[in-house]
Amino acid sequence: MAFPAHRPRRLRRTAALRALVRETTLDATHLIAPLFVKESIDDRVAIASMPGQYQHTLDTVRKEAAEIRSTGVRAFMLFAIPARKDAEGSEAWNPEGIGQRALGALADEFGDDAVVMADLCLDEYTDHGHCGVLDDHGEVDNDATLERYERIAVAQAGAGAHVVGPSGMMDGQVAAIRGALDAAGRTDVAIMAYAAKFASAFYGPFRDAAEGAPRFGDRTGYQQDPANGDEAMREIRADVDEGADFVMVKPATPCLDIVRRAADLGAAPVAAYHVSGEYAMLEAAAANGWIDRRRAVLEVLTSIRRAGAGMILTYHARDAAGWLGER
């Protein structure tokens, strides 16, 4: 019997051979760890819908970040929950607010040895839970919201953020933030734009964690329709033109095609957000014994890298980095 000269199984025979020809790498330095900090709690609080994740105090968030950093992860995205909320989310730009104090704590902990990122939005800070201020008709006012985003960016930069991550999907948000940062003399602070953020069903557990679910309506009026790929690419190009240093695709696994297209565009480094619902599904399946947790998590994260993401924001960052360090 004649066999073809090319027999791929030869290169799959041992772990060492498989590693030698592996096309896609996954390393701790590709991962960004999200962290939640909440005002007016005395100890960390478990998030029921996200097993293994917590709302932290200033002390515990610093300890958690240091432990994650020891695994090789070198970037953190901070989300903050204030004790006081109002219609415009004014705690978001309060220099003494919980978000800025937490950013300062991480900046003091790491200096330039890690990348400290700040989520830049209003949903955690407003009493109505939307990502911007509302007009007289109860709709999000785009331009009035941009004014608040400018204040937030300057406050976050002043607190020590290396990168700000506008996630509200307001038109012109990157240009407004870049202009405000530059005017404040903070040309050194980068922008990770949530350029293709879809109105996804996979955000539910995050809204528990960040306590930012809308009190009425939804976010389909400003987040993107999951059916629209070409529109996502227009948003990505627009954000790059406005000054984005990175672009984010969110959620990750339902949008691997967009990740690939964004990477092929080559206009800016591409991040993908492996979101709370994706995390929770893996955790639930593993808890029921339906999947091998370690293998499944690493397979999913590798697939996001294979699609073209240069970095992955994931709640599995600590565990995945630990597993990768054992290889």
Q: What is the mean pLDDT of residues 296-321?
A: 98
Instruction: Identify whether 218 is part of a domain.
Output: yes
Residue bearing tokens 């959620």: 251
Q: What is the mean pLDDT of residues 24-39?
A: 97
Instruction: Identify whether 13 is part of a domain.
Output: no
pLDDT, tens only, 137-149: 889 899 999 999 9
Which residue, 300, 263, 230, is CA-closest to 291?
300
Which residue, 39, 184, 32, 177, is CA-closest to 101?
39
pLDDT, tens only, 219-228: 777 789 999 9
pLDDT, tens only, 125-176: 998 888 889 998 889 899 999 999 999 999 999 999 999 999 998 999 999 9
Q: How far is CA 113 from CA 53, 108, 318, in A?
A: 24, 10, 17
Query: What CATH number corresponds to the domain at position 188?
Result: 3.20.20.70
* Chain CA centroid to CA 176, Å: 21
Give 276's strand partners: none
250 flagged as catalytic: yes
Question: Quick one: pLDDT at residue 279?
Answer: 98
Instruction: Identify whether 283 is part of a domain.
Output: yes
Residue 44 corresponds to which tokens in the numbers above? 């960390």
Q: Which domain holds residue 239?
A: 26-326
Active-site position among 38, 63, 85, 250: 250
Distance CA 146, CA 179 (A): 11
- Number of structural domains the chain divides into: 1
Instruction: Identify whether 268 is part of a domain.
Output: yes
- Count of other CB atoms within 10 angstroms of residue 312: 23
Instruction: Identify whether 16 is part of a domain.
Output: no
Question: Quick one: pLDDT at residue 129?
Answer: 82
85 flagged as catalytic: no
Instruction: Identify whether 6 is part of a domain.
Output: no
Question: Quick one: pLDDT at residue 1?
Answer: 57
DSSP E strands, the chain: 31-38, 45-46, 54-56, 75-81, 115-120, 163-166, 190-197, 246-250, 270-274, 311-314
Distance CA 134, CA 136 (A): 7
Instruction: Identify whether 8 is part of a domain.
Output: no
Instruction: Identify whether 195 is part of a domain.
Output: yes
DSSP E strands, 140-189: 163-166
Residue bearing tokens 């073809």: 4
